[in-house]
A and B are shown apart, each in its own frame.
Chain A
Amino acid sequence: GAGVSQSPSNKVTEKGKDVELRCDPISGHTALYWYRQRLGQGLEFLIYFQGNSAPDKSGLPSDRFSAERTGESVSTLTIQRTQQEDSAVYLCASSLGQGAFYEQYFGPGTRLTVT
């Protein structure tokens, strides 16, 4: 079956521009997660959604970052006024439910480069 998909796969943008990253989770997965991974480093948690609600936004690095989810499906991560330190791979994952019992399945990521 279809896995988690993300678009675009690569995005190069100029410093100061806004970008939108999209995630399509596995159908029926109620939980959706956004992570960031800088080159050669581990995962940095950004935000997660249960349904369309985001109970935990503590990982968002600054107020330039926002995310939304609609229809308990597609999610968009928006970065405003991008900075060079935002360059990273942005990963989306989804799971059937929330909590440690449910495994998270990852998409291929969006590689963001801010010049």
Chain B
Amino acid sequence: DAKTTQPTSMDCAEGRAANLPCNHSTISGNEYVYWYRQIHSQGPQYIIHGLKNNETNEMASLIITEDRKSSTLILPHATLRDTAVYYCIARNAGNMLTFGGGTRLMVKP
């Protein structure tokens, strides 16, 4: 899997949009961009994934730049329960998931 780079931590006000960036400048054409999050003491939770096009689901939106070298996960209306570590992964055909350091998002009232 290509290396990804994320900020170590971010704060967001409750009710505001949380925009989490991820750089994956060495991503190859067949690698998907995946986002997971892990709330303290829980298993990782799948959020969203995409290859080239922007994606949206009930949890979040994923914006991938045209050159695919970076992406942004958007939580449109962050709540206190969104406080977690968010992992961006560039995943190839391999079956295993590899988490890097992630971004610790703190949603504040």
Contacts and interface: CB of A to CB of B under 8 A. Distances in A.
B86 interface: no
A105 B47 CA distance: 10
B66 to A, nearest CB: 21
Given A100-B31, A103-B49, A91 B43 contact: yes
Interface residues on B, range: 20 to 34
A59 B100 CA distance: 17
Contact of B93 (A59, A93, A100, A109): A100
Interface in B76-99: 91-99
A101 B32 contact: yes
Contact of A35 (B34, B42, B97): B97
Interface of B: 30-32, 34, 42-46, 49, 91-101
Interface of A: 4, 31, 33, 35, 42-43, 45, 48, 56, 59, 91, 93, 98-101, 103-109
